[in-house]
Structure 1
């Protein structure tokens, strides 16, 4: 099942921001969220703020984990853990572990940078990373009835994990 009806968002990195700041725009180009990358957190935490500047969600990396793991908090409550699956050559796969039995899975192609998020075999969101722009931009479509903050937080966890992997592969990396 493809996402037919739903909400469309664009997550766009701010060009001259210190840290990793993003704006989240709706389908009309209006800013609905601001993502503050917390420059001194070593890319371990981002805060999602509403239009009034109030924190509505956050994503932070678990420092001690066997594989890349990020926690999403919405309204101060733990909403999900996003964990990268190990040993998935040529594909990225993440489990989005939500309370209860209905976990989500995010999977995509390393080369195409196109991702889908599925729940119980149904596609609930699609994510496209556009490489032809100067800064990172994600187009995100979220199915009706799915919490957009959970999906946006999952996309930010994906971005944090991919960025961390790229930094770990840099020549001369000693830690």
Structure 2
């Protein structure tokens, strides 16, 4: 299943609908303004919060935390020892890891689990400016989690670029 994500969802206080490939509203990214740290909520079309995304306040490297129902789900940060600058690690609470690599700032990257492709993020399929697609490859994968991972990775890469 493919989802269309507007590229400018990352501003604090910005809200944006993520659409499925039929153009139906699938998820709302709700940027929370007036918070001490960057916070986004991923909601379903009825407004129910599916996932919270927060920048970790105290950490050596920029880190974002993904939560579901106030329970930690995953931690996203740049991979520590990697020759590739565009390589992130997603530590899931169950002890497993997702690997994210590719051209993050170009919106051309993949999310894998144990070498198996879960989702690919790309602008190649789209003609709409400032939009990228999240193609969830596995039917049993959690689209909300994979979209949240993409949002986190892109935001962390942008923050790192701003700091350079």
Per the alignment, do residues 20 and 84 of structure 1 end up closer, same or farther by CA in structure 2, a change over 3 Å counting? farther
User: Is the counterpart of residue 74 in structure 1 residue 68 in structure 2?
Assistant: yes
Summarize the alignment of residues 92-107 of structure 1 with structure 2, pairs less than 5 Å apart: 92-107=86-101
CA contact under 8 A between 1:14 and 1:23: conserved in structure 2?
no
Match of 1:3 in 2: none
CA shift for structure 1 position 100: 2.6
- SS for the counterpart of 1:39 is coil
Deviations 1:148-168 (A, max 9, x none): 111011011012212322332
Is the partner of 1:67 in helix, strand or coil?
coil
| 3-state SS of paired residue (2:2) | strand
Counterparts of 2:50 and 2:69 in 1: how far apart (Å)? 5
Of the structure 1 ranges 160-169 and 63-72, higher mean CA displacement relative to structure 2 is found in: 160-169
Which residues of 2 match residues 1-175 of structure 1 at below 5 A?
A: 7-13=1-7, 19-41=13-35, 44-86=38-80, 88=82, 91-109=85-103, 112-129=106-123, 134-135=129-130, 137-142=131-136, 143-169=138-164
Query: What TM-score does the superposition give when structure 2 sets the normalisation length?
Result: 0.83
Deviation at residue 14 of structure 1 after TM alignment: 6.4
When the two structures are superposed, what TM-score results if normalisation uses the length of structure 1?
Answer: 0.79
Taking the aligned partners of 2:123 and 2:85, their CA distance within structure 1 comes to: 15
- Contact map agreement 2:104 2:153 (CA 8 A) in 1: no
SS in 2 for 1:91: coil
Unaligned runs of 5+ in 1: 1-6, 170-175
Instruction: Quote the RMSD (CA, aligned, Å).
Output: 2.6
Structure number with greater Rg is 1
Structure 1 pair 166–42 and aligned structure 2 pair: CA distance change class (3 A): farther
Q: What is the SS of the residue equivalent to 1:41? A: coil
Q: Tell me, which stretches of 5 or more residues in structure 2 are unaligned?
A: none
- State how many pairs are aligned: 161
Corresponding residue SS for 1:151: helix
Distance 2:86 2:76 in 1: 12
Q: Secondary structure at the match of 1:40?
A: coil
